[in-house]
């Protein structure tokens, strides 16, 4: 909980700094916002790795094969990256590119989830 509070405080401080800098030098403010975002994501990678390790452990405990668990984790990763990319585009004033990034992310997520959908269909047809 303490690390989340620190990350949130750092994000708010970086956003305020970026807003102030953007008033005088828009490009420098954009670079500051991107750098702050990259640092915050780097700090969050440790938490994401712990979640992945727990998901792998739970998969082993309940007997899920990695072929079933991997597409779920990859789809979540695609969703997170797509959201970040779209928000960065919106922040830069490029709403059209943000919408295209979201559409591409949705297509990539569906493509990544296809093996899982095939496994579900196989199980259903096996039950019938």
Span between the terminal Cα atoms of the chain, in Å: 47
- Is 57 inside a domain boundary? no
Please enumerate in sequence order all residues whose Cβ is within 8 A of that of 14, keeping only pairs 6 or more positions apart, or say none: 32, 33, 36, 37, 40
Range(s) of the domain holding residue 10: 1-45
Per-residue pLDDT tens digits of the chain, which is 128 residues long: 677 788 788 888 888 888 888 888 878 877 888 888 888 888 877 777 888 888 888 878 887 777 778 888 889 889 988 998 898 888 878 899 999 999 999 999 999 989 888 888 888 888 88
Give the CA dihedral 90, 92, 95, 99, nearest 10 degrees: -60
pTM for the model stands at 0.70
**Cβ–Cβ under 8 Å, residues 116 and 93:** no
**Nearest CA-CA partner of 30 in 98, 93, 97:** 93
Is 12 among the domain residues?
A: yes
Structure tokens at 41: 């994501």
Q: Are residues 69 and 40 in the same domain?
A: no
């Amino acid at each position: 909980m303490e690390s989340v509070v620190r990350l949130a405080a750092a994000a708010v401080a970086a956003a305020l700094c970026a807003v102030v800098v953007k008033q005088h030098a828009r490009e420098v403010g954009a670079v500051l916002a991107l750098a702050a975002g990259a640092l915050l994501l780097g700090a969050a990678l440790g938490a994401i790795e712990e979640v992945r390790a727990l998901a792998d452990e739970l998969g082993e405990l309940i007997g899920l094969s990695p072929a079933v668990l991997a597409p779920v984790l990859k789809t979540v990763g695609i969703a997170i990256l797509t959201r970040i990319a779209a928000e960065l585009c919106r922040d830069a004033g490029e709403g059209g590119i943000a919408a295209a990034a979201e559409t591409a992310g949705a297509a990539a997520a569906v493509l990544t989830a296809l093996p899982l959908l095939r496994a579900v269909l196989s199980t259903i047809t096996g039950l019938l």
